[in-house]
Structure 1
Amino acid sequence: MARGAASVLPLLAAVLAGAPTAGVPAAVAALFAGINDRPGSRRGAPAALGLPAAAGACGLLAGTLVGAAVPQELATPVLPLFLGLLGLVAGALSSTGATASACGTQLLIAAVIGVGMDLPEPVWLSCLSYLSGAAWPLLLRRLVPSPRRGRITYRLDGECEALAAVYERVAALLEAVGSPAAGARRAALTAALDHAQDALAGTRTGPRASRAERGLSARYDAAAALAEAATALAWKGEPVPERAVHGTLRLAAAARTGAPCGPLPAPPRTASGLRALDDALLRAAEAFDAPGRGPVRARTGRRALAAGHLDAADAVRRGTATAVPGGAAAALRRAAGPAGREYGARVGLCCAASAALALALGQAHWYWLPATAVFLVKPDLGPLVSRVVCRALGTVLGAVLCALLLLSGPGPQVLTAAVAVCGALVPYATRHFAAQTAVVTVLVLCLVALAGEPPATGERVVQSLLACATVLVVGHLPLPGRHGNAVRHRLDDAACAARRYLEHVLTEPGDRTGRWALRRRAYRAAAAAQQAAGLSAAELPPIARHSEGAWQVATGLVGLLDAITATAVDADDRGAPVCRRDAERLGARLAELTGLLPEFRVGG
């Protein structure tokens, strides 16, 4: 929130220089940077904030040039066509990942602003202002230290926080073993591991790694072993003594502060899962202990652990990059695939229809309608009807608040202060779409007033309601071809990852490093499939019917992964490959689930 308030500095500089319109693109870019500024690694900030900002600058440039080149009498047919084609491409690319989705959104909205907003500055200055508005929050994100916690440096505070969350989720799962809450706790552990995997992806490994980075790698490696043991215990429902939970919480505190964990209580070694947990705790104690000292908790007869004490951190946490062979080429193939084409068609239709409607109505700020539609059409903000209702409520609330502010006729300094307050609230408001909409509405209307245009609170409400109606109609249109492609793609990915994980467990039982990497990819893919299936199931029947049965398949894949993990832990404990009966049982379950993939309804 402090960074969000400070991100108004480029706009303030433009206001003080007597050219507030030059700071409007900077304020828009800072707004997007605040929305994209999520907890995580500082080293990941250039990709999370910088790449979307570059896409937005390109969109602003293209939109401004097209808007200037199209004659007024041709604007109504040409501009909707331009925005529709751009939406088709941006929407297809947005389906390939979270960063690509942010890039596509900024590209489209900046293009709409460039086409519709009449700024007096030359196009190069507007683009430079946009980039400076995004560069300043990025610089703050990279350089300004957060409050220190123990011995960790501010450069790695995001990584340490993400790692601590993993240990806390492991403790929560161990505490819930045998209870109905175990399933939800295991899902929370998967989410924490996904976040830590992303946060640590930018840290260096090998000889170039610093001492702190090597420590993070070792601690993440230990967390992978603990997560595997906890998952196996939860699958079997074997009770876990309370002292083991306390030991894992002590590891979480050490991960957050950078301090040694101290002596850890050992669980009884009465079952395979508990023995795996005991070994994982020893591994964690060695990873957290001060350099140069021996293990915190000495034991004898543990040479088998040393044989498996490989540095799996690099393979595990970089599994996201290696899970999709081909990198950019694979992303382009997915964008051109059924899921990308389906989402791109929705976005393109929404952009074209909303722009045509706004131009036909002849309102001064016609670009608000397609810009609002771009936000609303994004499926990662929740079910369609839910986000439309939240958008309508948030817009009305924000317009009322801004109307009260504008009644006193505030000057540029007051409006800039209001923008700063909104910038500070954006990170908190992103927790709920209605709250985010209210904050963004106040901010946008303040920027309109700074640009010297008359108040337009009523117009903002009307345009948002029209955008809501447009997205509702287009979102439920029966497009040609099969539907539910996004869910099907996620399920196919999850099934393939589960197959690779099972094959590795059966054929290479001694390779823990490879197993943990494949396990991470499999759980991550299954969680994404569950999320996509749950989102589709929450839609209205015209959309939800295209993916009936997908949730059951995704949940079954998660249960299969738990069973594979428990079987692998048992095989490690015996020091032998997986027995034939367990291999046949797991293979049959995988074949049953993959056989269900073509059955859930995807009719067009």
Structure 2
Amino acid sequence: MYRTSVRRACRAGLALPPWLAHALRSQGGPVPWSAVTRGALAGGPLLFAAVLADRASLGVVAAIAAMLAGINDRPGSRRTSVRRIGVPALAGAVGLLVGTYAGQHLGAVPLTLTLTGLGLVAGGVSAVGAVASGAGTQLLVTSAVGAGMPLPDAGWQSVLAFLAGAGWLLALRLVLPSPGSLTGASRFDSRFDLRFDFRFAYRFDGERAAVADVYDAVAALLDAAGTEHAVARRAALTAALDHAQDALAGPRLRRHASSPAERRLHAQYAAALPLGEAATALAWAERALPARAGEGPRRLAAAVRGNSHAGPLPAPSRTDPARRALDDALLNAAEAFDRGSGRDLHTRRRSGASLARTVLGAGGREYGLRAGLCFGAGAAVAQVLHHGHWYGSHQHWYWLPATVVFLVKPDLGPLVSRVLCRAAGTVLGALLFAGFAAVLPRPEGLVVLVAVCGALVPVAARHFAAQTTVVTVLVLALVMVGGEPQASVSRIGETLLACAIVLVVGHLPMPGQRGGGVRARIEAADTAAHAYLAHVLSESDARATRWTLRREAYRTLAEARAAITLAAAELPALARHSQGADEVAAVLERLVDTTTACAVHLDDTGRLTSLHTARLAGLRDELEERRGRVGRHRTLA
């Protein structure tokens, strides 16, 4: 849809504004059939069992939990899914408990103040990362549901039903094998005990795919060396390394013990780090490489996916330090593949003090204040309408603050894009459900509709409007199964009101400088880049430390780039606060690339050339100049 719209605009001689282009953009990729299967088996069967047991209200809560868990059911390893699904689910259970008892014992004003306080805390915590953001979202959504949804069950029973719904989907994620996950697992080699892999290979299908993608990304970067595509391929390598790092960093039942298959994957990931370093140095040199340079990493990628031996690898020429580093890295990888063990370099360690600085820093404060104001305003308006009997026979005041939660989250896209997609998706979903409700038998037909929508959630996640459409149909079906009348019109009205609240609050002036999230990401990237540079210039022999610092530098840069991209797609009134940040990020990226090239050259020769020192000095001067421009712009803004 997005590409078609852009082509049409270009043919007409027009350029779409960034905020509209983002609203039309959708993600690509194959259909996640495994997630579709889990979605179909999650909320629908739980709801059906509850209806048969004459406990439909508990089934509704369990299905809501399964739906929220399904939204967090993203591609990756099974161990990563424990944190990605489990932590938000626990936060959602806490929110449901707090909301239920607050709604029962507090008046309208104290309840609104309590929800506002939760919004402040959850918003600040959401600035930490994706899992924390999911936890903050579920905390707020379930607190609103618990406070306003008329549930006949005791609060503790609803909480247990919520945990059961999320736990059921997580269990499906951990138990069900993915398509093709057992491919190549039947190969036997006494050195690696692949019989263990045959029995449990499906446990590591996400990890294997993530590590193999790293080797493919290294090959793609070598292919692009000396071309205009090198920068994009280096960014793709960073994304692949980030994904593999997360895939291997899931929780373990036993901290100091792991299977041979797991140790082998860790060794294969560790072996990819010097390969990525050498490929980055070769791309930095801006000289084209022969086609055979990428053949070795591609064979290693195939070996990871097939759980097999790498076989003979083509040796690159050793005419300069970077090519010698590539050759050495390939030899090291071949040895690591055969040995099947290596250092555990995957963990990204963040201290409690670092997390606190993120929550209490500029980005956390701005996010928390905006989330608290929006959530509190939504609850206040909903309370006024509810107690003024403007809702008629529908007791759905909790929809308004719950909808605000999804709209106020900046990690779901720019503000105006979120509002447009939410409004369009809700209207379409409500109209679709009105048609379904007129013809489907109750409750059997509605239960089937819940199961179908659960299966569609992973596919619809590619676009916020599509996801909103599916979730709207699912939620309206759950409301009717719970014994309430059809509420499509009410749903549309409250969503449009929530959109208006978030648009107004989102453009209100805030204490301090705006763009705190972008500024915090840039500062983190700057700190990581200079820590990496200082380590390399110290000529330390601690390679593992260097690779860890390099990973953190590139990862924080990727996070900064993502934040800048979202901020640039806001309306001009908001986008101007992050103007110039992309230029600072670009200089930092070149600085980190140059640092990597210096590290490779120092390993080989023990000294830097005049080209390296001149490039470093020039980048430092340019970075100071860019910072000054951004500071002057913020002062004027």
Q: Report the TM-score when normalising by structure 2.
A: 0.87
Counterpart residue number, 1:330 = 354
2:463 is the alignment partner of 1:429: no
- Aligned mates of 1:45, 1:170 — CA distance in 2: 26
**What do the CA deviations read for 1:310-347 (whole angstroms, capped 9, x no partner)?**
95x423x21x21xx3x33x4323321222211111101
Instruction: Tell me, yes or no, if the aligned pair for 1:506 and 1:577 is still in contact at 8 Å.
Output: no
2:49 is the alignment partner of 1:13: yes
**Amino acid of the structure 2 residue aligned with 1:248:** P
Closer/same/farther in 2, CA of residues 490 and 594 from structure 1, 3 Å limit: farther
**What do the CA deviations read for 1:261-293 (whole angstroms, capped 9, x no partner)?**
2111122222322222222222222222376xx
Mapping 1:157-236, distance limit 5 Å:
157-202=205-250, 208-236=257-285
Instruction: Tell me, yes or no, if the aligned pair for 1:229 and 1:569 is still in contact at 8 Å.
Output: yes
SS state at 2:439 partner: coil
Counterpart residue number, 1:354 = 378
Counterpart residue number, 1:419 = 450
Counterpart residue number, 1:44 = 80
2:509 is the alignment partner of 1:481: no
Counterpart residue number, 1:2 = 37
Higher mean alpha-carbon deviation, 379-388 vs 233-242, is at 233-242
**Amino acid of the structure 2 residue aligned with 1:63:** G
**Amino acid of the structure 1 residue aligned with 2:61:** P
Instruction: Tell me, yes or no, if the aligned pair for 1:61 and 1:114 is still in contact at 8 Å.
Output: yes
2:305 is the alignment partner of 1:261: no
- Aligned mates of 2:267, 2:79 — CA distance in 1: 19
- Aligned mates of 2:102, 2:251 — CA distance in 1: 42
The runs of at least 4 consecutive aligned structure 1 residues that moved more than 4 Å come to 203-207
Counterpart residue number, 2:92 = 56
**What do the CA deviations read for 1:538-587 (whole angstroms, capped 9, x no partner)?**
2112211112111100111011111111121122222x143577346425
Instruction: Tell me, yes or no, if the aligned pair for 1:509 and 1:571 is still in contact at 8 Å.
Output: no
- Aligned mates of 2:405, 2:62 — CA distance in 1: 20
Instruction: Tell me, yes or no, if the aligned pair for 1:67 and 1:114 is still in contact at 8 Å.
Output: yes
Counterpart residue number, 1:279 = 328
- Aligned mates of 1:417, 1:165 — CA distance in 2: 37
How many residue pairs get aligned? The number is 574
CA shift for structure 1 position 508 = 2.6
- Aligned mates of 1:391, 1:468 — CA distance in 2: 8
2:537 is the alignment partner of 1:513: no
Instruction: Tell me, yes or no, if the aligned pair for 2:525 and 2:557 is still in contact at 8 Å.
Output: yes
Higher mean alpha-carbon deviation, 576-585 vs 329-338, is at 576-585
Counterpart residue number, 1:131 = 163
Higher mean alpha-carbon deviation, 582-591 vs 60-69, is at 582-591
Counterpart residue number, 1:238 = 287
**Amino acid of the structure 2 residue aligned with 1:330:** S
Q: 1:443 aligns with which of 474, 478, 494?
A: 474
- Aligned mates of 2:250, 2:422 — CA distance in 1: 35
- Aligned mates of 1:206, 1:427 — CA distance in 2: 32
- Aligned mates of 1:421, 1:280 — CA distance in 2: 49
Q: 1:104 aligns with which of 117, 136, 140?
A: 136
Instruction: Tell me, yes or no, if the aligned pair for 2:583 and 2:626 is still in contact at 8 Å.
Output: no
Instruction: Tell me, yes or no, if the aligned pair for 1:530 and 1:554 is still in contact at 8 Å.
Output: yes
**Amino acid of the structure 2 residue aligned with 1:6:** L
Closer/same/farther in 2, CA of residues 337 and 598 from structure 1, 3 Å limit: farther
**What do the CA deviations read for 1:346-378 (whole angstroms, capped 9, x no partner)?**
011111212222233332312111111100111
- Aligned mates of 1:271, 1:497 — CA distance in 2: 28
Instruction: Tell me, yes or no, if the aligned pair for 2:529 and 2:588 is still in contact at 8 Å.
Output: yes
CA shift for structure 1 position 12 = 2.0
CA shift for structure 1 position 207 = 6.5
- Aligned mates of 1:443, 1:173 — CA distance in 2: 43
**What do the CA deviations read for 1:200-248 (whole angstroms, capped 9, x no partner)?**
1137799623211221121111111111111111111222221222322
Q: Report the TM-score when normalising by structure 1.
A: 0.91
Closer/same/farther in 2, CA of residues 284 and 21 from structure 1, 3 Å limit: same
**Amino acid of the structure 2 residue aligned with 1:314:** D
Closer/same/farther in 2, CA of residues 107 and 429 from structure 1, 3 Å limit: same
Closer/same/farther in 2, CA of residues 266 and 337 from structure 1, 3 Å limit: same
Q: 1:68 aligns with which of 84, 100, 104?
A: 104
Instruction: Tell me, yes or no, if the aligned pair for 2:61 and 2:158 is still in contact at 8 Å.
Output: yes
Higher mean alpha-carbon deviation, 551-560 vs 585-594, is at 585-594
SS state at 1:431 partner: coil
Q: 1:150 aligns with which of 184, 189, 197?
A: 184
2:269 is the alignment partner of 1:251: no
- Aligned mates of 1:203, 1:590 — CA distance in 2: 40
SS state at 2:289 partner: coil
- Aligned mates of 2:166, 2:251 — CA distance in 1: 24
- Aligned mates of 2:547, 2:531 — CA distance in 1: 12
CA shift for structure 1 position 190 = 0.4
CA shift for structure 1 position 79 = 3.0
**What do the CA deviations read for 1:376-397 (whole angstroms, capped 9, x no partner)?**
1111111111111111111112
2:620 is the alignment partner of 1:590: yes
SS state at 1:265 partner: coil
CA shift for structure 1 position 595 = 6.0
Counterpart residue number, 2:31 = none
Closer/same/farther in 2, CA of residues 88 and 547 from structure 1, 3 Å limit: same
Instruction: Tell me, yes or no, if the aligned pair for 1:10 and 1:23 is still in contact at 8 Å.
Output: yes
Instruction: Tell me, yes or no, if the aligned pair for 1:499 and 1:590 is still in contact at 8 Å.
Output: no
Instruction: Tell me, yes or no, if the aligned pair for 1:495 and 1:594 is still in contact at 8 Å.
Output: no
CA shift for structure 1 position 192 = 0.8
SS state at 1:289 partner: helix
Counterpart residue number, 2:368 = 344
Q: How well do the aligned residues superpose, as a CA RMSD in angstroms? A: 2.0
**Amino acid of the structure 2 residue aligned with 1:377:** V
CA shift for structure 1 position 445 = 0.5
**What do the CA deviations read for 1:22-53 (whole angstroms, capped 9, x no partner)?**
11111111011111111122122222111111
Instruction: Tell me, yes or no, if the aligned pair for 2:223 and 2:293 is still in contact at 8 Å.
Output: no
- Aligned mates of 1:510, 1:66 — CA distance in 2: 58
Counterpart residue number, 1:95 = 127
Structure 1 residue ranges without an equivalent (≥5): 292-309
Counterpart residue number, 1:542 = 573
CA shift for structure 1 position 592 = 4.1
Q: 1:121 aligns with which of 128, 135, 153?
A: 153
Instruction: Tell me, yes or no, if the aligned pair for 2:82 and 2:170 is still in contact at 8 Å.
Output: yes
Counterpart residue number, 1:389 = 420
Mapping 1:560-571, distance limit 5 Å:
560-571=591-602
- Aligned mates of 2:260, 2:163 — CA distance in 1: 35
Instruction: Tell me, yes or no, if the aligned pair for 2:82 and 2:251 is still in contact at 8 Å.
Output: no
SS state at 1:474 partner: helix
- Aligned mates of 2:248, 2:624 — CA distance in 1: 32
Higher mean alpha-carbon deviation, 587-596 vs 106-115, is at 587-596
Instruction: Tell me, yes or no, if the aligned pair for 1:494 and 1:522 is still in contact at 8 Å.
Output: yes
CA shift for structure 1 position 598 = 5.7
